[in-house]
């Protein structure tokens, strides 16, 4: 990890839970404390200290009070501080696997906490939806400018366009969007990263050409299945029905422009699904 990094995604709920588990398992609570001391100096007459037995002179009194204060809650107020502390604990106790080469992949197992640098992109299901929206939006604008074509249209493309746009946004906002990585270190293995929009600090699509660092927990891994097991990327949705229906309502010319079939993601036979804790550049 660089001394300075730009977080793009932080799952603060998972981060906080994992930090508490790490503290409980690996560190005595006294080690994460702040020790404070209070010193009070005072000059008083000797008669007060000796109950009148010595009447003359003064005495200097020093009161030293020491106490400790737990700081876990203070640490958790800053997600970045929590992450840095957690990462230090994981590294110190050798629970963090840094994946930086093809050979490192052979030692990854389910349940490992890994740190890996990769490029990510939106999965093909949402790419297809976005592509349909873009084409329909252009087509709708053309229809508005062409009265003759507008009179000939047999269904409301705007209604279909609005439905696609609204539903896509709902999917992005309220559900996990599974991103995939490019092949890792010239291997067949790809990463599958489920992203929840509420934890994103910025749109990850803006950085899909950028090498991003993902730190997270491996929830499942399948190596060299030779197509026997399908990667959990393209699950059936209501959009599948919409695609089937498009061919019956759209012109062949427009279907050719949509070119949906060409956007289907290639089969992924080897994958590693990672629950992300933080993603940064």
Confidence at residue 235, expressed as pLDDT on a 0 to 100 scale: 47
pLDDT score recorded for residue 248: 64
One domain, residues 161 and 274: yes
Extract the tokens encoding 228.
Answer: 């026997």
- Domain identity same for 212 and 127: yes
pTM: 0.67
pLDDT score at 249: 63
| Predicted local confidence at residue 29, as pLDDT | 52
Domain that holds residue 132: 117-280
Q: Say yes or no: 54 and 135 in one domain.
A: no
The whole-number pLDDT of residue 121 equals: 82
Give the tens place of pLDDT for each residue, 19-67: 988 888 887 554 455 555 556 666 767 666 667 666 676 766 565 555 5
- Asked if residue 171 and residue 84 are part of one domain, the reply reads no
Burial letters 151-164, b for 16+ CB under 10 A, else e: eeeeeebeebbeeb
Residue (of 215, 204, 198) closest to 179 by Cα position: 204
> What would the pLDDT profile of 108-133 be if each residue is shown by its tens digit?
999 999 999 999 887 666 777 777 78
DSSP 12-76: HHHHHHHHHHHHHHH--GGGGEEEEEEEEEEEEEHHHHTTTS--S-EEEEEEEEEEEEE-HHHHH
**Per-residue pLDDT band at 148 (split at 50, 70, 90):** low
Q: Is residue 2 part of a domain?
A: no
Strand partners for 114: 97, 216
% of the chain residues with pLDDT over 90: 24
CA distance 203 to 145: 33
Q: In degrees rounded to 5, what are phi and psi of residue 83?
A: -65, -45
């Amino acid at each position: 990890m660089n001394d300075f990094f730009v977080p793009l995604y932080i799952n603060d709920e998972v981060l906080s839970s994992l930090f508490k588990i790490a503290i409980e398992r690996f560190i005595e609570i006294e080690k994460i404390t702040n020790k404070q001391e209070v010193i009070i100096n005072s000059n008083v007459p000797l008669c007060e200290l000796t109950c009148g037995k010595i009447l003359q002179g003064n005495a200097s009194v020093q009161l030293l009070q020491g106490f400790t204060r737990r700081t876990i809650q203070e640490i958790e107020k800053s997600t970045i501080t929590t992450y840095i502390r957690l990462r230090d604990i994981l590294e110190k106790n050798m629970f963090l696997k840094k994946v930086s080469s093809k050979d490192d992949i052979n030692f990854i197992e389910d349940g490992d906490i890994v740190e890996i640098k990769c490029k990510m992109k939106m999965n093909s299901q949402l790419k297809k939806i976005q592509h349909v929206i873009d084409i329909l939006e252009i087509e709708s604008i053309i229809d508005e400018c062409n009265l003759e074509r507008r009179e000939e249209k047999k269904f409301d493309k705007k209604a279909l366009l609005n439905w696609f746009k609204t539903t896509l946004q709902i999917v992005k906002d309220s559900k996990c969007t599974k991103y995939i990585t490019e092949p890792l270190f010239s291997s067949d293995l790809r990463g599958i990263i489920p992203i929840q929009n509420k934890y994103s600090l910025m749109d990850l699509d803006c950085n899909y050409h950028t090498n991003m660092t993902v730190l997270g927990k491996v929830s499942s891994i399948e190596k060299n299945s030779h197509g026997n097991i399908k990667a959990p990327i393209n699950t059936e949705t209501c959009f599948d029905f919409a695609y089937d229906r498009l061919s019956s309502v759209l012109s062949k010319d427009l279907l050719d422009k949509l070119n949906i079939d060409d956007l289907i993601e290639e089969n992924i036979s080897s994958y590693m699904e990672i629950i992300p804790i933080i993603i940064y550049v």
